[in-house]
Every structure is written in C-alpha cells, then in structure tokens.
C-alpha cells in the first residue's frame, strides 16, 4: 500500500493527461475545473502531509514511500522513493497552493486563447515535475524532476510558438538549464562512484569520509546546477527572456516555484555544503553579486515584466546569500514570502497587460489606479512587500537574511544586500508610479479583470501582508523551529546566525525609504511622460551590462562558426584526403565496368590476394 | 531453430518478389508480413534465450555454422526486425518494388546473421553479404543526384577494410592453430587461446579499423554524409539504426574477447578517437542547414559515446553500450523516418525552409517531439537511461573522458531542440507539395517506437539485466583484475538509495 502522498503527484498527472487527451473537445470551463481542481486536490494532500508531520515527534518527521525500483547496471537497483519531511512539505504547500491560485487566474487570463487546453495540460505537467523534484528521496529521482521542470518551462515559454522571440527564448532557457542538468548528473556520478549511493540519507551520513577535493567538487557541481535553475550570474541570461511566455507562467514557474529549485537544492543538500565551506562562501558571494547586479538592471528596464524578471533574479540572489551562509531557515522563509509577493506582482502585471490589450511598455501606461483600482491596490501591496516596508511580508524575510549576515560578521555581503534593498524599493516604486500614477500616456480605456482573476490577486495580497508574521523580530521563529529538527538529523549543523539585529533592520528600512523617496521625486511627483534619466550609465544598465551580447560574441558565435567550419572541412578537407585513395580504386572500378560482374571479379581478386598475403606473411615469419 | 527463424523469415520474404512480378502492393504486403513475423520470432527469442545451434560444415577448415542468441545479440536482432517493419511501412516504392523490398529484407537478414554468428568465417560471410544490399539501395534506389557516387564510396569504404578483416581473421585462426591442435574459426575455441602480444596488436588494429568504418567513427566516417544524404530516408534509417550497430557489436563480441591484451593497449587511443567523434559530430550537427544531416551527425556523436563506453572496458560501460545501441536504434530510426515524412511533403530538407508543422499535424509532431526528447536524453525516456549508464561506466575508467563526453549532452539538447523548432514550430509555413502522409499504417508502425521510448526509459533493467551476465563474462575474460568494475561494490548499495 502506498502512502497518501503519492496522490499529490497523481492528481495533476491525471489532470494533465485528461486535458491533453480530451481537452481539445471540452469547453474551457470544464478544462479549468479539471486542472484547477487537480492542483487544489494536490494542495489538500500537501496540507494533510503537513498535518501528519506536525503530529509526529520532531525528530521523526519523515514520510517515505518507495514507488518502484529501477533495475540497472546488472543488479544495482535504484529505488524511486518519495520523501516528505519539513523542508519538502513547505515547498509542496507553496507549489500546490500558489499553483492552484495561478491556475485559477489562468482560467480567466487564457480564456480567449486557442491553445487553452494545451496551456492547462502543460501547467499541470509542470506541477507534477516540480512536486517530483521536491519530493524525491534521492539525487537520481531529483534529476528526473529537475529535467522535467526544465521541459515544462520550455513548453510554456514557447507557448506562443508562432512568435520567433518566444521560440528563441524557449531554446535559450532549455540549453542553459541543460548545463545545470549536466552538472547535477556529474555530481551524482561522483557520489555514486565514491559512495555507491545516491539516496539523500546515506549520502549525507557518509559524505564526510570523502577527501576534501571530492567534497568541494561535488558541492561546486551542485552549485552550478542550482545557479542554472535559479538564474544566478552568469547563468541568469535565460530568465528575462523567459518572459515571452504567458504571464501566469512567469508568475508560477519563473517567479514562485521552479526558479527556487536551486535554493531548494542547496537547502536540501546542506550537509554537503556544510562540509565544503569554500563553496558555500562562493554561493553567498555569487548570490550577493547577483542580487545587486540584477537590481541595477531592473532600474532601467521599460517592459513591466522585464522589471519583475530582474527583480526575481535579484531576490533569488538574497536567498543564495542566506543558504550560502548556512542561514537555511532564513533562505526558505524568503522563498516563502517571495512566492507570495512575486506571484502577486506578476499576476497583477498580467491583469494590467490584459486590461490594455497586451501592452507591456510601462511608458505607454499611466493613471491606472483610477481605472483598475483593485489591480492597483494589490500591486501596491506587492510593491510594499518586496521593498521591505513593514509590516508586509518581505520586510521580515529580507531582514532575517540581512540581520543574520551582519550578526554573522559578513559585513561586505550585508552592505551589498542593503544597497540592493534600496535599489529594489527604487525600481519597484518607479514601476508603480509610472504604471498606476499620473495620467494615461496612451489612448484607450482599461477594464478591471473578471473576478476569476482578481480573487487570486486578493488572496495573494493577504498572504503577502500576513505571511511575514511566521517570524517576528525578537526570537519568535516558526520557520526555524519547524526546520531545525530536519536540519540536525544528519549531525550538527554550523552555528545558526544570532537572532534579530536591530541595527541592520534600521539601516535596511532607511534604505527602503530612500529608494521610495527617490522614486517619488523622479517618477511620482511630476509624473513624467518619458524616462527622465539618461546618459551612458543608464544606457549600460538598460543594455543589461551587455552580458547577453558578450555571451553571444564570446560563446555562441564562435561555436556556430566552428560548427560551419568543421562542416566545410568534413565536406571538403577530410573527404579529399580519403578520396585520393578512393578515386584510385574507383578509377580501377570504372575500368571494370560496364558489367556488375566487374565488381565481383575485383572482389574475388581482392579476396585471393588477401589470403595469399596472409599465407605469405605467416610462412615468412621467423 | 528459434535462433534462425527471424533470419529465415526475412530471407523468405526477400525471395517472394520472384513469384509476384511487379505487383507493388502484394510485394509490400508480403515484405511487411515477413518482417512482422520476424519481429514476433525475435521477441519469442528474447523470452527463450540463450539458444545455440551448431551445424558442422567443413571440419578440416574448422568451419561450422554456429549461431548463438544471448543477452548481447537478442535485443539487436529484435531491433533489426522492428526497424524493418517500420521501414517497410514507411516505404512506397512502386517503380521497381521487387528489388527494393527484397534488398531491405536482405539487409536486415544479413545484419541479423552478423549478430548471431559465433564462427568468424560465418560472421565474415554475413558481414560481406550485408554490403551488397547497402550498395544497391544507396545507388539504385537513391534519391539525390549523386547517389551512384555515394554508393561507390560506400562500397569502397566497405570492401577495402573487409579485405583486411579477412586477412586478420585467417591470421588469427592460423596463429591459434598450434595451441588448439587444429584450425578453428570458432569464437569459443579461439577465445581460449591467448596469442602473443605482438600478434594480437596488428590483428586487433585490422579488426578495429573495419568495425569502426561501419559505425562510423571519426575519421573513418567520410562515406556517411554521402550515403545518409543521397539515399532515401528509409534506407538512411536502416543504415544508421541497424547497420551501424554491427560494427559496435563485432567489437564487443569478437575483438575484445579474442584480443584482450591488444584491446587494453589500444583502448586509450580509441578513446581519443571516440571523443573526437563525439564532439566533431555534435559540433557539425549544431549548425548544419540540412535537417537529415543534423540527425546523421548526431548519430556520429551518439555512437561515438557508445564506442567510448565500449572501450572503457568495464562491465558497466558494456552494459550501457548494449542498452544505448538498442535505444539509439529506436530513436534514430524514428527520427529518420519521421523527418523523411516532412522531407517528402515539403520537397526540401533545408531547415530554413521548414517550420510550423505542429499546426498542421498535431499527432505527427507529438511523435517527432517524443523521438527528439528521447534522442536528447531527457530523464525518464530511453536515451537517458543508456546515456547515464554509459557515462557512469566511462567515469569509472576515466573521469576525464566522462567530463569531455558529457559536453555532448549539452550539444545534443541544443541541436535537437533546434531541429524540432525549425521543423515544427516558428512562424514560417512551408508550402507543402503534398499533405503530410502519416496514415494509419505509418502511425501503427511508429507506435511501438514511442511505447519503447517510454518503457525502456522507466524499465531499462529489462535489457541491462539480460546483458549484464554476458558483459561481465566478457570483461572477466578481457582483463581479470585491473579494469573491471568493483561489481561487489555496486550490488550492495540498494539499501541506501
């Protein structure tokens, strides 16, 4: 008998199958019922698993279920085991909970798209793969989910496959993700070859027996995998382009869930990173750099979704700073609040885009707080949350990370994070003021979205408001007390950063207010018609530091050039070398034509000659 | 008799046109029937393997008709039969149907012969016979303007090495004769003799060169672009799906057990060549404008990886190699045939002129998509299972080889996604000369491939479990100590996973 947790996977899998198989013949309403229902049921299973785990003694919070066994390598079975523990259950709750809300929203958003059923089966497929990723009980199974979400993401980025930009973005995302898959595969090889296991529990328990170099290599490979999935510099390049997908996809996959898989991996494999401190430090610094770097780009973008995409990259950087400094609870906490407010921001942006008939350039918007007030209000909540204004959720989780960094002595990282927090407030309020403040910059009248879209907005707005109260300054920390038993199961973990740091909190709040003030001064008060900032630095930021161009010129173009050069060589060079011999024989063959029997004769001759040669060789040998 | 039945059924099918004149439909139906029966027989063979027959023939020459069906050969025999069914179902030759279908069946029958033979001379006869249908199918039934030239090239590239192969086989038997007390070409007898290193070396080089041409492995692949490009897609499917496997198979079956010391000596050199194949093929596939050539060069790269797994000389690598030979056969045949349907409808293979097929034919693109995903090694599909095992085996022998080889996985993703996108997606809509022909028969022929892609992705143990004993016995023979995987280490780890 399998545990009830299998159902969490089964419902969306069935939803995907149904929608794919008979979807084209069903009404949109029915498809929506099936697919939203499937994810909601999956959410109920996650809740049940959560309740079940909380009922267990803290040290035994673990549900395991072996689905089947993969027999490879001559009697070396790999068990496909599901594992639900305090870490994975939090991810499951977010994936299915936020997932269900976004599915509901999509029923309205995608209603007039001809690919409605395709959209829904692919979304459900994504939920299956993502749940597989977080519920996997070993690295091998993790890899299956890991690649599965990459595939679903590919499908959905390229959903509007008639658009060349969408097709190109999908391919870019897939290839960068495969780089991560390969790194993960290599890490698994190393574990398998050196330890003979790929199950989490055994690997974590035995990891310390490996030599330092191997430990670092495994950790570094896992980090490359995490960085590719979670868009950390320089592998972030695919995420902004991924905005070519429909907005609910951006909200679910490219903000709330899939891109946090890297954070999940680092948090999940924390015993490995605990034993590879140099790699962990690198993770924190790459995260810090990415947080600041992406925030500077977000300042100068004009596309409403691109601003949000770079803000996602930046916020993921915060999570990596946290998990890189062993503040796993803080990282997971920020994942949680970020899932709420970033899904909210994307869905509200989608509501704006929907209201304006597909417009995404913020400089063609304006004054929308009067025409679509509910969307404006929820977007404002999201903006306040991500900017770190109390009492909204982002304030608490960001402060948990920054305070931990300062108390832990990571002054450099703390300064970077605080600076990025100021920039975050600036670019988010810039976006809010330009889109919703002032007056309309383009003709046309916007209409508020239907309730099927606004209800999820309101729910997420409430969660973005109260979600931070799970952790309060002064030592009250539900997340940590929930995760700690799971974190200590494999032996002692590095000392957790000390509790709340009031100085860090005051400084980051001040930075957020400075960011807000500057945005108000530049974009709010006078409501300019065009971007008031210009100059070379602005161009550099608008051009995204030209990283894409750099990659294009340093990697893509030389690779393609080498490809065609090799092809020419293959056609001409190599061929000529061999044809010299070939033509000789061919000429001989031609002379033996016109009858086919010429070949037979030549063949017989060759045969006889060969045999004679052997006999001669063997008899002449000493 | 079970061993021989797929071979006999295909050979009988090949003779049928003699009695049917030029009635295309009848000939095709008979060919289809014969290949379906051969497929059924080969599946029964998998159930009842190992099987062995041994019919003495010329005792004085040590020649007997020895055929052996075991874990190493049975899946390749079944693959050959399956590929033949699909190739016949996707063909519609009407001008000279008799020759065409007989040659396809003969090609399959001779390939099966090479998979089954355990007497070197018998193997050699099948190996040589296989060239004739290949030559005629490329040349006479070719598609391109230069098909005759391509066929001639194929012929030269096949005949020259096999003349040397014969030399090597005779030399091997003669050198072993003193130790055995009589002349013998039997694999099991020859394998019991350990020849002096110097003799092994040159015989091994001749063996390896002939087998590598067939795969092909860089730089012996120059016949491949012409042969795959100038023939029709069905023939290319046969060449890449089935014939390429005979070279890899012969290396595992004959070269390693018979010449173990030379194999170990030359393994690093062969690995270098394999790595070049992997990267070279992948790099060309990345930019090639011709869709079929993308698939062709992807084969060069993927079979290079299989070759690398073979020369890793451990049980894991061999196990993975046999699994991946089967997997590659499945997805390569599917890709060549499905892309062939596009070629036929659009009248071009240039990717820049294709696109948007997904909107016209959803089911067809679904099939193409699954084949592409299997080929690029998506976890959960068959290509991944083989690739994973192969790389694991390679990793055991040399981490450096594995690091380089794994780059091919990223390339695979890039060029196969590109192939699919430029064929099925995007804004361009080619003007189709005729509608995509993907009728019930073609769908039915493709369904087993799709099912196997999923099935072998989740249950590769069905194959590797049967291959493992053979692979282990070969590696044990090959190198008793140094290079075998610590199998005991691997079998105990189940509990921890």
Contact criterion met (CB < 8 Å) for B491 and A189 = no
Distances (CA, A) of A58 to A51, A53, A541: 13, 8, 48
Residue B388 has pLDDT above 90, yes or no: no
pLDDT grade for B302, boundaries at 50, 70 and 90: very high
Give the DSSP letter of residue B186.
B
Instruction: With beta carbons under 8 A apart, name residues in chain B contacting A182.
Output: 406-407, 409-410
> Distance between alpha carbon B456 and the CA centroid of its chain, in Å?
17
Residue B288 corresponds to which tokens in the numbers above? 């090639």
Terminal Cα-to-Cα distance of chain B (whole angstroms): 43
| Least Cα separation, residue A127 to chain B (angstroms) | 16
CA neighbor of A99 nearest in space, from A261, A252, A242: A252
Q: Write the DSSP assignment of B470-486 as a string of letters.
A: HHHHHHHHH-SSTTS--
- Three-class secondary structure of residue A79 per DSSP: strand
pLDDT higher at B126 or A162? B126
Q: B196 CB near a chain A CB, below 8 Å?
A: no
Closest CA to A17 of A3, A31, A6: A31
Q: Is A97 left (phi over 0), alpha (psi -120 to 50) or beta?
A: alpha
Secondary structure class of A391 (helix, strand, coil): coil
Which chain B residues touch A178 with a CB distance below 8 Å? 409-410, 413-414
Structural domain includes residue B97: no
Taking the C-alpha atoms of residue A408 and residue A282, their distance in angstroms, rounded to an integer, is 16
Residue B143 DSSP one-character state:
-
Task: Give chain A positions within 8 Å (CB) of B164.
Answer: 610
The answer to whether the CB atoms of B461 and A71 lie below 8 A apart is: yes
Average pLDDT over residues B103-117: 95
Domain of residue B423 covers: 265-483
pLDDT of residue B59 exceeding 60, the answer is yes
Compute the average pLDDT of residues B271-297. Answer: 93
Centre a 10 Å sphere on the Cβ of residue A595 and count the other Cβ atoms it contains: 9
Note whether A617 contacts B471, CB cutoff 8 Å.
Answer: no
List CB contacts (< 8 A) between A147 and chain B. 378-380, 384
Within-domain flag for B495: no
Instruction: Report whether pLDDT(B330) > 90.
Output: yes
Calculate how close chain A gets to B33, using CA atoms only, in Å: 31
Of chain B residues 82-101, which have a CB less than 8 A from chain A?
none
Q: State the helix-helix crossing angle for A28-55 and A6-21, rounded to 10 degrees.
A: 170
- What are the chain A neighbours of B402 within 8 Å (beta carbons)? 186, 189
Closest partner residue to A566 (CB to CB) among B175, B283, B396 is: B283
- Asked if A74 and B315 come within 8 Å (Cβ–Cβ), the reply is yes
For chain A, residues with pLDDT lower than 50 are 74-75, 592-598, 600-601, 619-622
Q: Which phi and psi angles does B65 have, rounded to 5°?
A: -80, 90
Q: Which of A188, A570, A577, A589 to mutate to test the interface with B (most CBs of B within 10 A)?
A: A570
Cβ(B230)–Cβ(B144) below 8 Å: yes
Residue B490: which pLDDT band, with cuts at 50, 70 and 90?
very low
Distance between CA B218 and CA B69 in Å, rounded? 30
The mean per-residue pLDDT over the stretch B183-211 comes to 89
Joined together, the tokens standing for residue A618 give 């063997």
Please tell me the distance in Å from A317's CA to the nearest CA on chain B: 25
Is there a contact between B413 and A175 if contact means CB atoms under 8 Å apart?
yes
Question: Is-contact B184 B62, C-beta < 8 A?
Answer: yes
* Cβ contact, residue pair B496, A199, below 8 Å: yes
- Record the tokens describing residue B51, joined without a space: 């099987």
Question: How many Cβ atoms are within 10 Å of A361's Cβ, its own excluded?
Answer: 12
Interchain pair A599, B155: CB under 8 A: yes
Residue A403 and residue A418: Cα distance in Å, rounded? 10
- Cis amide bond preceding B356, omega within 30: no
**Whose CA is closest to A129, among A261, A268, A273?**
A261
For residue B468, the chain A residues in CB contact (below 8 A) are 73-75
Q: How far is A482 from chain B (nearest CA, A)?
A: 26
The mean pLDDT of B182-193, rounded to a whole number, is 87
Radius of gyration for the alpha carbons in chain B, expressed in angstroms and rounded: 22
Domains in chain B, number = 1
Nearest to B171 among A203, A571, A618 (CB): A618
Identify the H or E element spanning B52: strand B51-58
pLDDT at position A594 is 44
Q: How far is A99 from chain B (nearest CA, A)?
A: 24
- From A72, A179, A563, residue closest to B464, measured CB to CB: A72
Comparing alpha-carbon positions, the chain A residue that sits nearest to B285 is A563
Please write the tens of the pLDDT for every residue from A388-397: 888 899 998 9
DSSP A126: H
Mean pLDDT in residue range B185-196: 88
Q: Which of A161, A164, A566 sits opposite B284 (nearest CB)?
A: A566
B15-28 pLDDT, tens digit each: 888 888 778 889 99
Quote the pLDDT of residue B496: 33
Q: Which pLDDT belongs to residue A576?
A: 60
Q: Would B271 be classed as within a structural domain?
A: yes
Of A79, A586, A614, the CB nearest to B156: A586
- Residue B34, token pair as written in the block: 């014969």
Extract the tokens encoding B465: 């479990």
Question: What is the rounded average pLDDT of the residues B300-328?
Answer: 93
Chain B nearest CA to A272, separation (Å): 17
Q: Which residues of A touch B379 (CB under 8 A)?
A: 143-144, 146-148, 181
Within 8 A of B358 by CB-CB distance, chain A residues are 161
pLDDT, residue A70, reads 67
Residue B28 at interface with chain A, using a CB cutoff of 8 Å:
no
Q: Which two tokens stand for residue A237?
A: 């390049």
Nearest CA in chain A to B400: A186
* B461: confidence class by pLDDT, cuts 50, 70, 90: confident
pLDDT at residue number A592: 47
| Of A190, A606, A160, A598, the residue nearest B358 (C-alpha) | A160
Chains A–B, number of C-beta pairs less than 8 Å apart = 199
- Asked if residue B136 is part of any domain, the answer here is no
Please indicate, yes or no, if residue B7 is contained in any of the structural domains. Answer: no
Are residues A185 and B163, on separate chains, in Cβ contact within 8 Å? no
Say how far apart CA A560 and CA B99 lie, in whole Å: 42
- Name which of A73, A192, A575 is nearest B222 (Cβ-Cβ): A575
Q: What is the C-alpha to C-alpha distance for residues A63 and B433, in angstroms, rounded to an integer?
A: 58
Q: Are B358 and A574 inside 8 Å of each other by CB?
A: no
Instruction: Determine, for residues A618 and B492 on separate chains, whether the beta-carbon distance falls below 8 Å.
Output: no
Residue in B with minimal Cα distance to A188: B392
Query: A578: which chain B residues are within 8 Å (Cβ-Cβ)?
Result: 222
Domain-embedded: residue B109: no
Over residues B431-439, mean pLDDT: 82
B148 — contact with chain A (CB < 8 Å)? Answer: no
Q: How many CB atoms lie within 10 A of CB A561?
A: 11
Alpha-carbon distance of B269 to B292, in angstroms, equals 30
Q: Calculate how close chain A gets to B316, using CA atoms only, in Å.
A: 6
Chain A residue nearest residue B384, CA to CA: A144
Please check the confidence at residue B448 and state whether its pLDDT lies above 60.
Answer: yes
pLDDT at A606: 55
pLDDT over 60 (residue B243): yes
Residue A316 CB partners (closer than 8 Å, separation 6+): A230, A231, A232, A259, A260, A262, A263, A287, A290
Per-residue pLDDT averaged across B52-58, rounded?
A: 82
Quick one: how far is CA A303 from the chain centroid? 20
Alpha helices in B253-381 (DSSP H): 256-258, 260-287, 291-311, 315-346, 357-360, 362-375
Higher pLDDT, B353 or A619: B353
Whether the CB of B228 is below 8 Å from some CB of chain A: the reply is: no
Does the interface predicted TM-score (ipTM) exceed 0.90?
no
Nearest Cβ partner for B392 among A70, A175, A189:
A189
Is A71 close to B427, i.e. CB distance below 8 A? no
What pLDDT shows up at residue A381? Answer: 95
Cβ pair A138:B464 closer than 8 A: no
Q: Give a yes or no: residue B375 inside a domain.
A: yes
- Determine whether the interchain pair B493/A197 forms a contact, defined as Cβ–Cβ distance below 8 Å: yes
| Positive/negative CA dihedral, B98, B100, B104, B106 | positive
Instruction: Tell me which residues of chain B, numbers 329 to 388, contact chain A at a CB-CB cutoff of 8 Å.
Output: 356, 358, 373, 378-380, 384-385, 388
* CB within 8 Å: B153 and A582: yes
- Give the Cα-Cα-Cα angle B180, B184, B186 (nearest 5 degrees): 110
**Residue B438: helix, strand or coil by DSSP?**
coil
**Contact between A265 and A203 (Cβ < 8 Å):** no
In a domain? residue B427: yes
Give A111→chain B minimum CA distance, Å.
20
> Looking at CA atoms only, how far is residue A94 from chain B in angstroms?
25
């Amino acid at each position: 008998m399998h545990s009830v947790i299998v159902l969490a996977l089964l419902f969306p899998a069935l939803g995907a199958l149904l929608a794919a198989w008979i979807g084209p013949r069903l009404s949109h309403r029915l498809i929506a019922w099936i697919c939203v229902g499937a994810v909601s049921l999956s959410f109920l299973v996650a809740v049940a698993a959560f309740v079940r785990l909380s009922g267990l003694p803290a040290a035994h919070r673990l549900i395991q279920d072996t689905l089947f066994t993969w027999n490879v390598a001559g009697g070396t079975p790999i068990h496909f085991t599901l594992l639900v523990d305090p870490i994975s259950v939090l991810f499951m709750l977010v994936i299915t909970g936020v997932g269900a809300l976004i599915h509901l929203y999509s029923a309205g958003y995608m209603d007039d798209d001809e690919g409605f059923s395709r959209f829904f089966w692919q979304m459900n497929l994504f939920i299956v793969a993502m749940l597989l990723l977080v519920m996997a009980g070993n690295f091998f199974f993790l890899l299956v989910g890991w690649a599965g979400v990459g595939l679903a993401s590919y499908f959905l980025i390229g959903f509007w496959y008639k658009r060349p930009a969408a097709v190109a973005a999908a391919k870019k995302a897939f290839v960068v993700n495969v780089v991560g898959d390969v790194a993960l595969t290599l890490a698994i090889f190393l574990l398998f070859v050196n330890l003979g296991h790929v199950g989490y529990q055994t690997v974590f328990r035995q990891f310390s027996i490996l030599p330092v170099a191997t430990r670092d290599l495994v950790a570094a490979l896992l980090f490359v995998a995490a960085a590719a999935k979670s868009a950390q510099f320089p592998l972030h390049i695919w995420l902004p382009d991924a905005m070519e997908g429909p907005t609910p996809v951006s909200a679910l996959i490219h903000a709330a869930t899939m891109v946090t898989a890297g954070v999940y991996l680092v948090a999940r494999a924390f015993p490995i990173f605990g034993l590879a401190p140099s790699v962990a430090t690198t993770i924190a610094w790459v995260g810090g750099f990415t947080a600041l770097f992406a925030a500077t780009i977000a300042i100068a973008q004009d596309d409403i979704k691109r601003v949000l995409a770079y803000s996602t990259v930046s916020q993921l950087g915060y999570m990596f700073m946290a998990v890189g400094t062993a503040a796993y609870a803080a990282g997971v906490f920020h994942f949680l609040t970020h899932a709420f407010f970033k899904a909210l921001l994307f869905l509200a942006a989608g509501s704006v885009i929907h209201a304006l008939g597909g417009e995404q350039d913020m400089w063609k918007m304006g004054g929308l707080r009067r025409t679509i007030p509910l969307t404006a209000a929820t977007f404002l909540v999201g903006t306040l949350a991500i900017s770190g204004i109390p009492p909204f959720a982002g304030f608490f989780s960001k402060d948990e990370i920054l305070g931990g960094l300062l108390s832990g002595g990571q002054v450099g990282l703390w300064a970077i994070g605080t600076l990025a927090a100021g920039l975050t407030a600036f670019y988010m309020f810039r976006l809010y003021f330009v889109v919703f403040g002032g007056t309309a910059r383009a003709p046309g009248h916007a209409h508020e979205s239907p309730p099927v879209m606004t209800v999820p907005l309101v729910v997420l707005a409430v969660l973005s408001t109260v979600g931070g109260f799970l952790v309060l300054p002064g030592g009250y920390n539900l997340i940590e007390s929930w995760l700690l038993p799971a974190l200590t199961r494999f032996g002692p973990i590095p000392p957790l950063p000390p509790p709340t740091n009031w100085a860090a909190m005051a400084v980051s709040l001040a930075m957020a207010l400075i960011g807000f003030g500057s945005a108000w001064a530049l974009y709010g008060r006078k409501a300019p018609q065009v971007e008031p900032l210009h100059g070379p630095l602005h161009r550099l930021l608008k051009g995204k530091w030209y990283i894409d161009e750099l990659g294009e010129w340093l990697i893509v173009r030389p690779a393609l050039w080498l490809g065609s050069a090799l092809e020419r060589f293959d056609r001409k060079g190599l061929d000529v070398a061999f044809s010299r011999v070939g033509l000789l024989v061919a000429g001989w063959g031609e002379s033996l034509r016109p009858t086919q029997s010429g070949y037979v004769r030549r063949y017989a001759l060759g045969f006889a000659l060969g045999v004679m040669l052997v006999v001669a060789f063997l008899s002449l040998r000493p | 008799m079970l061993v021989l039945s797929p071979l006999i059924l295909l050979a009988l099918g090949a003779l049928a046109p003699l009695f049917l004149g030029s009635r295309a439909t009848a000939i095709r139906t008979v060919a289809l029937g014969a290949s379906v029966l051969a497929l059924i027989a080969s599946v029964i063979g998998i159930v009842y393997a190992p099987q062995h027959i041994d019919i003495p023939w010329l005792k004085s020459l040590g020649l007997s008709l020895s055929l052996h069906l075991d874990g190493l050969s049975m899946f390749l025999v079944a693959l050959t039969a399956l590929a033949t069914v699909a190739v016949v179902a996707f063909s519609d030759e009407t001008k000279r149907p008799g020759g065409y279908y007989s040659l396809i069946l003969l090609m399959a029958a001779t390939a099966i012969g090479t998979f089954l033979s355990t007497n070197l001379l018998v193997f050699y006869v099948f190996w040589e016979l296989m060239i004739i249908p290949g030559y005629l199918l490329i040349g006479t039934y070719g598609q391109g303007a230069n098909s005759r030239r391509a066929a001639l090239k194929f012929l030269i590239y096949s005949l020259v090495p096999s003349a040397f192969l014969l030399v090597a086989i005779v030399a091997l038997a003669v050198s072993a004769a003193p130790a055995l007390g009589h002349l013998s070409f039997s694999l099991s007898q020859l394998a019991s003799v350990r020849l002096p290193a110097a003799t092994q070396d040159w015989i091994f080089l001749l063996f390896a060169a002939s087998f590598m041409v067939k795969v092909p492995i860089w730089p012996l692949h120059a016949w491949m672009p012409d042969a795959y490009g100038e023939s029709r897609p069905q023939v290319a499917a046969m060449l890449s799906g089935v014939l390429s496997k005979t070279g890899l198979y012969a290396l595992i079956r004959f070269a390693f057990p018979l010449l173990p010391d030379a194999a170990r000596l030359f393994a690093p050199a062969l690995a270098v060549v394999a790595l070049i194949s992997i990267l070279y093929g992948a790099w060309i596939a990345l930019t090639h404008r011709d869709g079929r050539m993308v698939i062709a060069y992807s084969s060069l790269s993927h079979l290079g990886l299989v070759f690398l797994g073979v020369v890793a000389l451990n049980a894991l690598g061999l196990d993975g190699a046999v699994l991946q030979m089967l997997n590659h056969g499945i997805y390569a045949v599917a890709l060549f045939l499905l892309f062939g349907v596009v070629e036929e409808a659009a009248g071009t293979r240039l990717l820049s002129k294709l696109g948007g097929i997904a909107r016209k034919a959803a089911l067809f693109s679904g099939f193409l998509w699954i084949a592409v995903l299997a080929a690029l090694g998506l976890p959960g599909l068959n290509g991944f299972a083989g690739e994973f095992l192969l790389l694991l085996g390679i990793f055991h022998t040399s981490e450096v080889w594995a690091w380089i080889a794994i780059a091919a996985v990223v390339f695979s993703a890039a060029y196969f996604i590109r192939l699919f996108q430029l064929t099925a997606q995007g804004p361009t809509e080619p003007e189709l000369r005729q509608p995509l022909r993907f009728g019930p028969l073609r769908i039915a022929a493709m369904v087993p491939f799709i099912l196997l892609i999923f099935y072998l992705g989740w249950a590769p143990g069905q194959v590797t479990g049967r291959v493992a004993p053979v692979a282990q016995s070969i590696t044990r023979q090959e190198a008793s100590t140094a290079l075998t995987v610590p199998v005991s280490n691997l079998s105990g780890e189940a509990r921890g996973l």
